[in-house]
């Protein structure tokens, strides 16, 4: 089983630049746990201390917001795509005035 | 007796088929002065004498259903013969013409107030089904707030101005810097150091004198946002701080004003339309901003110059769709563009019934 997790550009410094990371997991939570096991610096970007998702990080499973599915309990299957999407600071390429 | 290569219908039947799901392209084949005096809702103007040349732009498909009318039904029948000779197969002429339509007491015949200069400037819009003189007038009567005259605002502002959006209120607090010119094409080398809003206003006025530009040098805050949104039909969000973005969202939700939201980072961009009452708001998407230390600084990340250009033009496209009421705006859909991959991804964004800005517990709740 292989699940593609798409890493947003703002978090790629934590995956050594990788845009897509392939991991296994029977649920979304297990999948993301497998992801942070590979790239530990992502942990605090994605998870709160109590292992829930950070409120400003959205995760989409095959295009649908996991919050409207089963959250971290959402079952996964081979070949699906998971997209991580944190809030972006802006239409910004510079600190001000974009 | 030979069979005519087209159908003839009266005004009442014409009105029925115009309201049907297989709505035909409605073409007025009269002369300019007759058209100027009034025409039917949704019609495209193509005088009989030149329709053989103009039809390919109006209806590239020869099987497309076409309904023609003139003043009394004679010229539209002749035009239908002409089009049949060119291979068009689904032609209808309205017997009795616009005179019969009016006599039947059918809904208002629109009139346009476009000047000859405007008819020339917007001629490519006037040919478009769904835009036409009526849509162009709508754009000229529209008011858009542009938050930011930078990477996204530059292309969005230029195209909205070119399209004839009649009033552009632009707020930005910055001055033009040389490092902006790699992507902010509304500014020029000789205007480095000028306030961005003044530079943008100068470029827009040079492009289209129809546009009333209202430059505001400042920052959008919770204190001034309601005033900035006053009288506005739509907002182009080119903000670069979470404070401004949430302030804009909350006020726009309260006032029921759609916001075309976008963001860019390096080689990637995203875009969605936040339309109160019709879809989610920004807080439905992201209930809270990240703390400052978790929000990556974009200033050090860089961006391919064309990236905000493309995304800003997509923002302008969505704005025109919403203002004209055509097509399927990106409401409830977040579009991601990866320029290096050349790939688009669409995510579904739902309204959150518990949203503190637009949820069911608020005065704006329950609408969507």
- Summarised one tens digit per residue, pLDDT across range B89-128 is 999 999 999 999 989 888 767 676 899 899 999 999 998 8
Write down the catalytic residue from B70, B281, B284, B298. B298
- At residue A94, the pLDDT reads 38
CA distance A61 to chain B (A): 9
Q: What pLDDT is attached to residue B299?
A: 56
- For residue B298, pLDDT over 60 is answered with no
pLDDT in tens, B10-20: 999 999 999 99
pLDDT at B296: 58
pLDDT level of residue B316 (50, 70, 90 thresholds): very high
B294 touches chain A (CB under 8 A): yes
Contact criterion met (CB < 8 Å) for A9 and B151: no
B346 close to A (CB below 8 A): yes
Q: Which residues of B touch A63 (CB under 8 A)?
A: 345-348
CB atoms within 10 A of CB B71: 17
pLDDT at A97: 34
pLDDT score for B297? 52
Task: Give the pLDDT score at A91.
Answer: 47
Average pLDDT over residues B30-54: 89
What part of A 1-40 touches B (C-beta under 8 Å)? 6, 8-11, 13
Q: What is the pLDDT of residue B277?
A: 93
Q: Is any Cβ of chain A less than 8 angstroms from the Cβ of B318?
A: no
Task: Give the percent of chain B with pLDDT over 90.
Answer: 80
Question: Is it true that domain B142-348 has CATH number 3.40.50.720?
Answer: yes
State the average pLDDT over residues B55-74: 94
Residue B1 reports pLDDT greater than 80: no
Domain spans, chain B: 7-111, 142-348
Structure confidence at residue A93 (pLDDT): 38
B-chain residues within 8 Å CB-CB of A10?
265, 296, 301
Partners of B179 on chain A (C-beta within 8 Å) are 94
Helix (H) or strand (E) holding B204: helix B196-207
Q: Cβ contact (<8 Å) for B173 and A97? A: yes
Q: What is the mean pLDDT of residues B285-304?
A: 76
Average the pLDDT over B132-156 and give the result.
95
Check residue B364 and give its pLDDT: 63
Q: According to the model, what pLDDT value does residue B34 have? A: 87
pLDDT < 70 stretches in chain A? 89-98
Please tell me whether the interface predicted TM-score (ipTM) of this complex is above 0.85.
yes
Mean pLDDT of B353-368: 76
**How much is the pLDDT for B50?**
93
Residue B367: pLDDT over 90: no
User: Which run of H or of E encompasses B245?
Assistant: helix B242-255
pLDDT at B108: 63
The answer to whether the Cβ–Cβ distance between B151 and A89 falls below 8 Å is: no
Contacts of B332 in chain A (CB under 8 A): none
What mean pLDDT value characterizes chain B? 92
Predicted pLDDT of residue B106: 87
- Any chain A CB within 8 A of the CB of B348? yes
Report yes or no: B277 at the A interface, CB cutoff 8 Å: no
Span B331-342, mean pLDDT? Answer: 95
Q: Does B178 touch chain A (CB under 8 A)?
A: no
CATH architecture of A3-86: Roll (3.10)
Q: Judge whether B298 counts as a catalytic residue.
A: yes
pLDDT for B351: 93
Q: Chain A within 8 Å of B292 (Cβ-Cβ)?
A: no
Give contacts of B 71-100 with A, CB under 8 A. none
CATH class in words for B7-111: alpha beta
Inter-chain CB proximity B174 and A45 less than 8 Å: no
């Amino acid at each position: 089983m292989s699940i593609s997790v798409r890493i947003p550009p703002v978090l790629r410094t934590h995956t050594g630049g990788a845009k897509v990371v392939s991991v296994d997991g029977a649920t979304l939570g297990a999948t993301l746990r497998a992801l942070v096991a590979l790239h530990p610096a992502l942990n605090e970007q994605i998870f709160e201390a109590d292992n829930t998702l950070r409120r400003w990080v959205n995760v989409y499973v095959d295009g649908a917001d996991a919050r409207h599915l089963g959250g971290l309990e959402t079952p996964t299957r081979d070949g699906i795509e998971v997209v991580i999407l944190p809030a972006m600071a802006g239409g910004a390429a510079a600190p001000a005035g974009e | 007796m030979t069979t005519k290569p087209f159908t003839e219908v009266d005004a009442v039947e014409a009105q029925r088929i115009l309201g049907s799901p297989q709505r035909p392209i409605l073409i007025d084949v009269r002369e300019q002065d007759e058209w100027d005096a009034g025409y039917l809702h949704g019609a495209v103007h193509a005088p009989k004498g030149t329709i053989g040349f103009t039809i390919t732009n109006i209806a590239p498909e020869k099987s497309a259903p076409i309904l023609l009318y003139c003043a009394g039904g004679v010229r539209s029948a002749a035009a239908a013969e002409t089009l049949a000779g060119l291979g068009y197969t689904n032609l209808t002429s309205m017997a009795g013409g616009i005179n019969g339509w009016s006599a039947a007491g059918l809904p208002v015949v629109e009139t346009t107030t476009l000047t000859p200069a405007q008819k020339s400037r917007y001629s490519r819009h006037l040919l478009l089904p769904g835009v036409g003189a009526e849509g162009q007038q709508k754009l000229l009567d529209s008011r858009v707030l542009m938050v930011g005259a930078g990477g996204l605002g530059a292309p969005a502002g230029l195209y909205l101005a070119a399209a004839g959006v009649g009033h552009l209120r632009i707020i930005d607090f910055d001055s033009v810097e040389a490092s902006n010119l790699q992507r902010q094409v509304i500014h020029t080398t000789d205007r480095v150091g000028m306030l961005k809003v003044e530079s943008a206003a100068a470029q827009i006025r040079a492009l289209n004198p129809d546009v009333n530009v209202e430059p505001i040098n400042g920052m959008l805050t919770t204190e001034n946002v309601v005033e900035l949104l006053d009288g506005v039909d739509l907002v182009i969000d080119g903000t670069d701080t979470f404070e401004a973005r949430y302030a804009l969202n909350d006020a726009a939700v309260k006032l029921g004003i759609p916001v075309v939201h976008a963001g860019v980072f390096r080689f990637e961009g995203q875009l969605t339309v936040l339309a109160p009452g019709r879809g989610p708001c920004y807080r439905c998407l992201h209930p809270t901003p990240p703390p400052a230390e978790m929000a990556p600084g974009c200033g050090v990340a860089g961006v391919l110059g064309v990236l905000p250009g493309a995304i800003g033009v997509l923002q302008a496209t969505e704005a025109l769709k919403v203002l004209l009421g055509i097509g399927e705006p990106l409401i409830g859909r977040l579009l991601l563009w990866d320029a290096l991959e050349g790939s688009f991804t669409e995510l579904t964004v739902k309204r959150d019934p518990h949203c503190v800005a637009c949820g069911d517990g608020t005065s704006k709740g329950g609408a969507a």
